[in-house]
Amino acid sequence: MQVDDKGRSPEPKRPDLDRPLAFETVYRAYFRQVVGWMRAMNVPPADMEDAAQEVFLVVRRKLPRFHDENLAGWLYRIADLTARNYRRLAWFKHLFARDPVDQTMDPWPMTASPAISLEQKEDHRTLFRMMARMSAKRRETLILFEIEGYSGQEIAALQGVPIKTVWTRLHHARRDLMEMVASSRRRHDREVGKP
């Protein structure tokens, strides 16, 4: 996926795939989008590769029976169910982990620039910590719109909801984010002694 000079991806285009769908074609066209969706679904970065593998195992098994037009929506639904399983089992999988993994950090350099400054890493960690406190629907909509660069129509098609629902979720997600930023700023001001 290409990014511009601001680190923002252009509008993702729906790939035109020939029917019948070949699994490898679907994989090549949607792998990176699936990874982005699962990040929005709060899948731990350490589990991202395994989760993506689970998603495409399901896709390979069910693709011969898929005849709908909304391939992206179908993939998004599979990713959503897989992410739920991973979130549900995450506590157990990490129960015996010797070294706790920082779930807010990417194991891969998912950002545009490989040279990420320390300040950017801290911002990254802060933002995902805040968004982890949102509801899943609001968080996914916010990340897909603000970070992954999807349009409202595309998000509505992915999630299978009306466009107005997307805007409502986005509005509430922004309001939640503003409140968290304000709370964080007030706490920081108290620590440094500002009135």
Partner 1 sequence: MIDRLRDRAEYGNRDEAEAARLLRSVGPAVAPAAVEQRVLGSLGGPRRIGPRAMRVATVASVPVVATAVLAATLAVMFGRDARPRHSQSPAAQPSVSSRLAVASPLPLAVDDVRAPAKAALPDRTASQLEPIAEPITPQPKASPGNRRQQAIASRSHATPTTDSTSSMEAPGSPAPSSDSDSAEARAAAAPAEEASIVLAALRALRRSHDPVRAGALVSRYLESFPQGALVQEATAVAIEASLARGDREFAARLAKEYLGRYPSGRFVPLARKAVAGPRP
Binding region for partner 1 (CB under 8 A): 1, 3, 6-9, 24, 27, 31-32, 35-36, 39, 48-49, 52-54, 56-58, 60-61, 85, 108-113, 120, 123-124, 126-128, 130, 145-149, 152, 167, 170, 174, 177-178, 181-182, 185
Rounded least distance, CB 38 to partner 1, Å: 8
Please spell the DSSP secondary structure of 99-161, one letter per residue.
S---TTS-SS--SS-S---HHHHHHHHHHHHHHTTS-HHHHHHHIIIIIS---HHHHHHHHT-
Residue length of the chain: 195
Which of 69, 172 has the CB closer to partner 1? 172
Question: Residue 34 corresponds to which amino acid?
Answer: V
Which of 132, 178 has the CB closer to partner 1? 178
Rounded least distance, CB 154 to partner 1, Å: 13
Q: How far apart are CA 48 and CA 42, in angstroms?
A: 10
Rounded least distance, CB 79 to partner 1, Å: 12
